[in-house]
C-alpha cells in the first residue's frame, strides 16, 4: 500500500514546494548533468533537499536520492514513509556507536546501483551569519572512493526565510536553486585542497558572491 502511495505523494510534495516558493532552477551553460552525479548544497533548512529534488527534471529526479540522518527519518511511521518510500533517502546513522555500516560504503553502494545523491557537506543546518559552515570530510571520502563521479555544486537561496527555525507553517517567498558546473576530484588532491575548492565553488553561486560579497 505504501509503495502505491509513494509516487502520488512525491508528486504532491513537488507541487506544494513549487507553489510555496515559486522556485526557479538556474543551470550552467552546459545545462543539467547527464548520468550519475553528487549534488552538494548549502544547508539552512529541513526543506533543502526537497527543493533541490523538486526542481530536477523528472528523468533525473527519479534516480536522485537525498542523503539524510537515519535518526530523524526513522523516528515515526510518517517519517519513515516520507524518507524511505517517497524520497528513497540514503539513510546514514550519525551516532557512531549505533552504526552497522560505513556511511561512505552506504553512499557508494547507492551510486553503484545507479543513483545520484543530494549531499550537504556542512553536515548540519547552518544557523549562523556565516555563508557556509566548514565542510565535513564526507564529500572528500566519497569523491575519493568514486573519482569518476561528477560533483555538482548547488546553492539554495531564500529557503531559510520560507521555513525559519521553529516555524511550522511556511512563508510564501520566491526561492532559487542555482546549479554550478560539474567538478571532479583531482589526482592526488589533498583533503584540505579539495574541501576548499568545493567550498569556493559553492560560495561562487551565492547571490552575495555575485553582488561582490563572499
DSSP string, 105-162: HHHHHHHHTT-EEEE-TTSS---SSSSSPPPPSHHHHHHHHSTTSEEEEEEEESHHHH
- Check whether 212 has a pLDDT greater than 50: no
Query: Which one is predicted more confidently, 44 or 169?
Result: 44
- Check whether 152 has a pLDDT greater than 90: yes
- For the chain, domain boundaries: 2-210
Mean pLDDT of the chain: 87
Query: Which one is predicted more confidently, 156 or 213?
Result: 156
Residues 6+ apart with CB under 8 A from 28: 179, 180, 181
CATH match for 2-210 among 3.90.850.10, 3.40.1130.10, 3.20.20.105, 3.40.1170.10: 3.40.1130.10
- Check whether 160 has a pLDDT greater than 60: no
Amino acid at each position: 500500500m505504501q509503495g502505491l502511495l509513494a509516487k502520488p505523494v512525491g508528486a504532491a510534495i513537488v507541487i506544494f514546494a513549487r507553489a510555496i516558493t515559486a522556485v526557479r532552477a538556474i543551470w550552467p551553460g552546459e545545462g543539467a548533468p547527464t548520468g550519475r552525479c553528487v549534488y552538494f548544497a548549502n544547508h539552512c533548512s529541513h526543506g533543502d533537499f526537497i527543493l533541490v529534488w523538486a526542481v530536477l527534471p523528472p528523468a533525473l529526479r527519479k534516480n536522485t536520492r537525498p542523503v539524510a540522518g537515519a535518526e530523524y527519518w526513522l523516528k515515526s511511521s510518517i517519517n519513515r514513509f516520507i524518507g524511505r518510500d517517497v524520497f528513497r533517502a540514503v539513510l546514514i546513522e550519525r551516532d557512531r556507536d549505533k552504526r552497522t555500516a560505513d556511511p561512505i560504503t552506504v553512499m557508494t553502494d547507492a551510486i553503484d546501483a545507479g543513483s545520484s545523491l543530494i549531499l550537504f557537506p556542512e553536515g548540519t543546518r547552518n544557523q549562523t551569519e556565516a555563508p557556509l559552515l566548514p565542510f565535513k570530510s564526507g564529500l572528500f571520502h566519497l569523491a575519493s572512493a568514486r573519482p569518476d563521479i561528477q560533483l555538482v555544486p548547488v546553492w539554495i537561496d531564500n529557503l531559510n526565510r520560507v521555513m525559519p527555525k521553529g516555524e511550522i507553517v511556511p512563508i510564501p517567498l520566491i526561492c532559487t536553486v542555482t546549479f554550478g558546473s560539474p567538478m571532479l576530484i583531482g589526482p592526488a588532491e589533498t583533503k584540505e585542497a579539495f574541501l576548499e575548492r568545493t567550498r569556493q565553488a559553492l560560495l561562487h553561486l551565492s547571490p552575495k558572491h555575485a553582488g561582490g560579497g563572499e
